[in-house]
Amino acid sequence: MKIQCPKADLLNGVNIVLKAIPVKSTMPILECLVIEANHEYIKLIANDMELGIETLVKGTTIEPGTVALNAKVFSEIVRRLPENDVQISTDSNYMTEIICEKAKFSISGRSSEEFPYLPEIEKENAVILSQFTLKEVIRQTVFSISDNENNKIMTGELFEIKGNELRVISLDGHRISIRKIELKDSYEERKVIIPGKTLNEISKILSGDVDSMTHIYFTDKHALFEFDDTVVLTRLIEGEYYRIDQMLSSDYETKVSINKKELQNCIERASLLIRETDKKPVIIDIDKNNFELKINTSIGSMKEEIDISMEGKNIIIGFNPKFLLDALRVIDDEVVDIYLINAKAPCFIRDKDQSYIYLILPVNINVTA
């Protein structure tokens, strides 16, 4: 094999497929990326058996061939090469030469025969949405997946399609995040659970361009995302997702409309007094259009008032400040509506059309405050 690529394009491709390289594996071949070159394309491939990525790289194929190279070593070499064309060639023993200007490396490669290539997926009935929309939907929900591998369902996000509506849901036992978007076309009903890790990696690769489309294909066991020159294939999480609709209530005793940025800044100031080991809540006291947020920790205390408009009853309630901040940071509205029932029931932050809903469980302030 012998190819030539601009360093910037090669590095971009390497950075994309690195996301599917395991940190450590009992199968050394999985720690490799494969370069596959023919006269039509140059492709980089990585696969950790849960997540597989292929991406095309601009360049010229002088001699077709394939080689598997240790991804960490190869990526570090490419990263440090001069900004010029890179020539990569392999001999019959897979010894690989990397040349750029006056820099010349020789590293040992291996045959790609043992490498688990991505399975062929039938590309039918693609769900199409813009890269911008997909990136935003992931950003606005993925923070509330669980990192507890003992409950696999919670480590993923539910993608639920009904007609022309896509609903994306994540939860971790303390909160629920829901984003609902309208698709341009209608699709058959479908529910799949996609690993949060995959969605995090996809969001880093997506350009976020409004005019660039993402095609998503589903099978019984996989989801395939295709955009630009990249294909991402992930295994789905098997199992039945939680019945979220039973947890969503339109009832409320108190409704608060508040400037999002003011509330976010206020909670961020309060968080300065919280050590990582602390589990101190912020206490919100709502009384006749007066919104007071206070916190009391071993470091100190703070109180701050924010102007609001409200309807309903007065209430005192406590929350984990991180959960409130995570939701507020991804909401783009200037003013947010918060719906409360009582001090022991979850609060809902949602817009009028319910295109986003954030449910957050309160903290028992009698015990922890």
**What CATH number did the domain enclosing 148 receive?**
3.10.150.10
SS3 266: helix
Structure confidence by residue, pLDDT tens digits, 93-109:
999 999 999 999 999 99
Please report whether residue 121 resides in a domain. Answer: no
Please report whether residue 162 resides in a domain. Answer: yes
Please report whether residue 120 resides in a domain. Answer: no
Specify the range with the lowest mean pLDDT, choosing from 98-107, 143-152, 158-167, 230-239. 143-152
Structure confidence by residue, pLDDT tens digits, 202-232:
999 999 999 999 999 999 999 999 999 999 9
How many CB atoms lie under 10 A from the CB of residue 63? 12
Q: Are residues 240 and 255 in the same domain?
A: no
Mean pLDDT, rounded, of the chain: 95
Quick one: residue 137, left, alpha or beta (phi over 0 = left, psi -120 to 50 = alpha)? alpha
What pLDDT is stored for residue 367 in this prediction? 42
Q: Which residues contact 38 (CB under 8 A, 6 or more apart)?
A: 61, 64
Last residue of a domain, one of 245, 267, 284: 245
What pLDDT is stored for residue 369 in this prediction? 39
Distances (CA, A) of 94 to 12, 91, 117: 23, 5, 19
Q: Are residues 362 and 261 in the same domain?
A: yes
Q: Are residues 91 and 131 in the same domain?
A: no
Number of domains in the chain: 3
Q: pLDDT grade, residue 23 (50/70/90)? A: confident
* Average pLDDT, integer, range 165-185: 97
Q: Are residues 255 and 355 in the same domain?
A: yes
Please report whether residue 40 resides in a domain. Answer: yes
Residue 178 identity? I
How many CB atoms lie under 10 A from the CB of residue 78? 20
The pTM score is 0.92
Q: What domain range is 225 assigned to?
A: 127-245
Please report whether residue 354 resides in a domain. Answer: yes
Please report whether residue 268 resides in a domain. Answer: yes
Q: Are residues 61 and 161 in the same domain?
A: no
Cα four-point dihedral sign 37, 39, 42, 45: negative
Q: Are residues 256 and 364 in the same domain?
A: yes
What the block records as the tokens of 193 is 């659970």
**What proportion of the chain, given as a percentage, has pLDDT over 70?**
99
* Average pLDDT, integer, range 107-133: 94
Q: Which residues contact 265 (CB under 8 A, 6 or more apart)?
A: none
Structure confidence by residue, pLDDT tens digits, 31-71:
999 999 999 999 999 999 999 999 999 999 999 999 999 99
